Amino acid sequence: MAVGTDRRQHIVLLPFLAQGHIIPFLALARRIAQRHPGRFTLTLVSTPLNVRSLRSSLPPDSGVLLRELPFRGADHGLPPGAEGTDSVSHGLLFKVFQASASLRPEFEGLVAEDIPREDGCPPICIIADVFMGWTVHVARQLGVFHAAFSTCGGFGSAVYFAMWLHLPHRHAASEEDEFGVPSFPETFRLHLSQTSPALKNVHDQDPRVIFFREQITLCCSSDAMLCNTAKALEPTGTALLQKNTGVPVFSIGPILPPVTRSSAGRAGKVLGIAPEACIEWLDAHPPRSVLYVSFGSQNSVSAQQMLQLAAGLEASGRSFIWVIRPPFGFDLKGQFRAEWLPEGFEERVRSSGRGLLVRDWAPQLEILAHGSVGAFMSHCGWNSTLESLARGVPLIGWPMAAEQFYNVKMLEEEMGVCVELARGLVQEVDPAEVGRVVGMVMGEEKGKEMRRRAAEAAEVIRVATREEGAEKGPSLAALEAFLESVQKGTPATGNAAA
Ligand code: UDP
């Protein structure tokens, strides 16, 4: 369709090459397309394998177009078939970042020439991942609106940016190994164990530091920053993000994918269990009696921790669904070996009906939406956090990387919806402690209060994203205000300031 004749306008979205980014980008594109079918054309751009997976799960009436960019991962030392963080070992993660930056010439060609030629109208806006700050150059060159989309929360993003920009953990000199973070209140302290492995032992000239500083700084010169959160969910975090970046921040979330019973996994991932089988299993359990255990799309605990966690889950006496994949250090895509679980574990939990082990990828949203789920043991990646809170499900935190440590800190200390069980991959995990924490969070004392708070968070989320007649919740109103700025080409005013 020639956009020029029906005055549709084109928005191009470019997520970072990770499921935790692609999933909310797609959800955002679908939300805009669904709200404004005649007003905007949405094109989500990624690499061939990612686009192929997305295509297999995207309904034909989604209103979102998909475009491929050629990806030359081998030029950056990536193995064949590796087009995202979920298909590489941890040692290769940074290469995915480097390879993603090499998409620039093709992306530029797509936005400047291919799309205008094929659609009759040049894109008016690029919404790009905060890890793709280089897209600001493309937008400036073409004179189009640029928005950076942070798929993390406000608080998590603000701390994460400050950590890379200032590396404050290098100065942790006190006996407690605690440190403050520039541009944060003095009372805000982090412990060295809350530093992501990627930030350990880095210095100003480290290629990772140079890379992240550049992307973050570029995003701070964007026209707007979209954040997948609700202002009322994390007022302090969104205000800090606004203050520290200086960009108009729009808290437009949570933007969550729709719950479906489709046999295709989210973003086209292959499911380790059919959603119906999972739901049937959950149906056979009482309300709030099941613990869901999953560490996102690209993380796994260590081999020793896996044995300890398994023993702890048995010790807890609770029912559970556990998404298992090979432990940290092994090929995450490889075959799962029996020796990674205690002897007889799988058979015991299966025959007793107490546990359901799902290989690699589960229908997470559908599980969390089920009334039998009472708690979520999670690495507290932001998507998982939002998906849990939107259903009023409290969390047991086990952060491993990136901004997960700060998410857990906020969820536990400010929101009271999480208890941190463990941190990172080196700590030993006492099975008895696993049992104790699971019992506490799913129990009737602290657990009850956590469920109350999680239900409050769910209500905040519902209100932020509701639409009743002409009345819109604040997140929805912020999305509309953002689109208005894009369409008019006027400077944006965000909604995140305190
Ligand atoms: N996810 C899923 N099934 C799984 C594991 C993950 O559907 O078995 C989805 C999950 O619902 C979420 C995303 O993958 O939308 C993970 O994002 P998150 O930010 O929680 O963690 P990340 O993978 O980025 O560390």
pLDDT digits (tens, 9 = 90+) for 418-477: 999 999 998 899 999 999 999 999 999 999 999 999 999 999 999 999 999 889 999 999
Catalytic option among 10, 21, 169, 285: 21
Give the DSSP H or E segment for 388.
helix 382-389
Share of the chain above pLDDT 90, in %: 87
Residue 446 Cα to ligand 1 middle (Å): 27
DSSP assignment of 409-470: HIIIIIS--EEE---TTTS---HHHHHHHHHHHHSSSHHHHHHHHHHHHHHHHHHHH-EETT
The atom of ligand 1 lying closest to the CA of 387 is 11
Average pLDDT over every residue of 281-297: 97
Residue 100 half-sphere exposure, CB side, CA atoms within 13 Å? Answer: 28
Residue 274 and residue 253 share a domain: no
pLDDT at 185: 94
In this structure, the strands spanning 290-294 and 319-324 are parallel
Is residue 496 in a domain? no
The atom of ligand 1 lying closest to the CA of 368 is 11
Average pLDDT over every residue of 397-424: 97
Residue 364 Cα to ligand 1 middle (Å): 8
Residue 381 Cβ inside 6 Å of ligand 1? The answer reads yes
Residue 281 and residue 246 share a domain: no
Is residue 494 in a domain? no
pTM, rounded to two decimals: 0.95
Atom 11, ligand 1: which residue's CA is nearest? Answer: 364
Residue 185 and residue 285 share a domain: no
Answer for the pair 136, 214: CB distance below 8 angstroms, yes or no: no
Residue 273 Cβ inside 6 Å of ligand 1? The answer reads no
- Residue from 16, 17, 19, 269 to probe ligand 1 pocket by mutation (most atoms less than 8 Å from CB): 19
Residue 29 Cα to ligand 1 middle (Å): 18
Structure tokens at 362: 């589960």
Residue 474, helix vs strand vs coil: helix
> 115-154, pLDDT tens digit by residue?
999 988 889 999 999 999 999 999 999 999 999 999 999 9
Is residue 29 in a domain? yes
pLDDT at 1: 38
pLDDT at 173: 67
> 4-29, pLDDT tens digit by residue?
445 789 999 999 999 999 999 999 99
- pLDDT of 2 over the 60 cut: no
Average pLDDT over every residue of 397-404: 97
Is residue 495 in a domain? no
Average pLDDT over every residue of 225-237: 97
> 36-55, pLDDT tens digit by residue?
998 999 999 999 999 999 99
Is residue 497 in a domain? no
Residue 297 Cβ inside 6 Å of ligand 1? The answer reads yes
Residue 204 and residue 64 share a domain: yes
Looking up residue 188, the CATH number of its domain turns out to be 3.40.50.2000
> 322-351, pLDDT tens digit by residue?
999 999 999 888 899 999 999 999 999 999
> 299-328, pLDDT tens digit by residue?
999 999 999 999 999 999 999 999 999 999
- pLDDT of 228 over the 60 cut: yes
Residue 470 and residue 455 share a domain: no
- pLDDT of 414 over the 60 cut: yes
Residue 350 and residue 240 share a domain: no
Residue 239 and residue 365 share a domain: no
pLDDT at 494: 85
Residue 470 and residue 443 share a domain: no
Residue 292 and residue 345 share a domain: yes
Atom 10, ligand 1: which residue's CA is nearest? Answer: 384
Average pLDDT over every residue of 72-97: 93
Atom 15, ligand 1: which residue's CA is nearest? Answer: 383
Catalytic option among 86, 119, 129, 360: 129
Residue 383 Cα to ligand 1 middle (Å): 6
Say whether 90 is catalytic. no
Average pLDDT over every residue of 180-192: 94
- pLDDT of 265 over the 90 cut: no
Atom 5, ligand 1: which residue's CA is nearest? Answer: 296
pLDDT at 267: 63
Tally of domains within the chain = 2
- pLDDT of 174 over the 90 cut: no
Compute the mean pLDDT over every residue in the chain, rounded to the nearest whole number. Answer: 94
Residue 384 Cβ inside 6 Å of ligand 1? The answer reads yes
Is residue 68 in a domain? yes
* E strand map for 175-230: 178-180, 189-191, 224-227
Residue 326 and residue 217 share a domain: no
The atom of ligand 1 lying closest to the CA of 323 is 8
The atom of ligand 1 lying closest to the CA of 384 is 20
Residue 318 and residue 236 share a domain: no
End-to-end CA distance of the chain: 43
Average pLDDT over every residue of 351-361: 95
Say whether 129 is catalytic. yes
Residue 345 Cβ inside 6 Å of ligand 1? The answer reads no
Helices 474-488 and 19-35 pack at an angle, to 10 degrees, of 80
pLDDT at 121: 83
Residue 248 and residue 272 share a domain: no
Is residue 1 in a domain? no
- Candidates 97, 342, 364; CA nearest to 214 is 97
Q: Which domain holds residue 223?
A: 9-258+466-488
Residue 255 Cβ inside 6 Å of ligand 1? The answer reads no
Residue 344 vs residues 23, 302, 341, 358, 423: alpha-carbon distances, Å: 36, 20, 8, 16, 27
Is residue 86 in a domain? yes
Distance CA 150, CA 158 (A): 10
